[in-house]
Copies of this chain bind each other. A is one copy, B any other.
Amino acid sequence: MEFYLDCYACFVRQTINAARHAGCDDPVQHKIMIKVLELLQNLDPETTPPHVAKAVHGIIREYSNNPDPYKEAKARCTRAAMELYDDLKAMVAASDDPLGTALRLAIAGNIIDLGVSDEHEDLWHTVDRVLAQDYAVDDEGLLRREMEKADHILYLGDNAGETVFDRVLIETMEKPVVYAVRGRPVLNDAIMEDAIAAGLDKVATLIDNGADAPGTILSLCKPEFVEAFNEAPVIIAKGQGNYETLNNAGPKVFCLLQIKCPVIERDMGAPMGGIILRQSTAL
């Protein structure tokens, strides 16, 4: 997805939030801001928001001397989501349509996104809302058909905490799953340790993509990941960053997310809070 004009203001806002989150004092925050303004002035026309986020959060890690500023926040999000795990499982077990319910729960988990805001709605409230609302984009039928035929599924994770909701979906799918995390810390995106804290190692083969972008930029990923990507018959891509980088990665990719920013709202023609299960378009 392209970098829209409105993304500039969002990244400047996100820079300050993230620099404060990383514990930088005012002079360091100022230095980071100047670096980010320079970066934003010189964007490649082909850039996507996750390309820019990768660079911005790289600057913040460098200037804060903090290799993983969101480490504690991620652990907190995972713990909060784990407290819901038994209830989520019971909800799926009691459902007439366990897979449909688990898909919606996985989308509900996408509300956890510290790039958009430090706060998220009460998770349980989000679960209730997402279970009750209609899909804004609904390719669920297509995904079910593709999943049935597939010998395994590649599942691209997004944020720490959201991982627990992914786990519930994976446990419902009854297919071998390869679960991919980011290769290195960026924002509150799940890396290997976050996936393990959510118990995903018990239900999927874990790999990392080798990159530190909050999305999936194939040209930056390691060869083993790209191979897994190319060979996978079906790919579930969670969250906004994966949508922004894989929205036209071909019809085997299905993006699951909530609409959490006005740019995606306009890009999709669907409202804020809308739930999306969208097959990607051809390359």
**What are 18 A-to-B residue pairs whose CB atoms are below 8 Å?**
A5-B16, A5-B26, A5-B29, A5-B33, A6-B16, A8-B12, A8-B16, A8-B33, A8-B37, A9-B9, A9-B13, A9-B16, A12-B12, A34-B41, A37-B37, A37-B41, A38-B41, A41-B41
Copy tally for this chain in the complex stands at: 2
> How near does chain B come to A185, taking the closest CB pair, in angstroms?
24
Of residues 1 to 55 in A, which have CB atoms within 8 Å of B's CB atoms? Answer: 5-6, 8-9, 12-13, 15-16, 26, 29-30, 33-34, 37-38, 40-41
Q: Return chain B residues, CB-CB under 8 Å to A33.
A: 5, 8
CA distance A8 to B29 in the complex (A): 12
| Minimal Cβ-Cβ distance residue in B for A16 | B5
Q: Return chain B residues, CB-CB under 8 Å to A8.
A: 12, 16, 33, 37
What interface size band does chain A fall in? 10 to 19
CA distance A5 to B29 in the complex (A): 8
CA distance A9 to B8 in the complex (A): 8
Known: A5-B16, A9-B9. 6 other contacts (CB 8 A): A6-B16, A8-B12, A8-B37, A12-B12, A37-B41, A41-B41
Q: Return chain B residues, CB-CB under 8 Å to A34.
A: 41
CA distance A37 to B40 in the complex (A): 7
Q: Return chain B residues, CB-CB under 8 Å to A29.
A: 5
Of residues 98 to 134 in A, which have CB atoms within 8 Å of B's CB atoms? Answer: none
Q: What 3 A-B pairs come out closest when comparing CB atoms?
A: A9-B13, A9-B12, A37-B41
Of residues 164 to 185 in A, which have CB atoms within 8 Å of B's CB atoms? Answer: none
CA distance A30 to B41 in the complex (A): 10
CA distance A234 to B40 in the complex (A): 45
Q: Return chain B residues, CB-CB under 8 Å to A6.
A: 16
Q: Return chain B residues, CB-CB under 8 Å to A38.
A: 41
Q: Return chain B residues, CB-CB under 8 Å to A37.
A: 8, 37, 40-41
| Minimal Cβ-Cβ distance residue in B for A33 | B8
Contact of A5 among B9, B30, B40 (CB under 8 A): B30
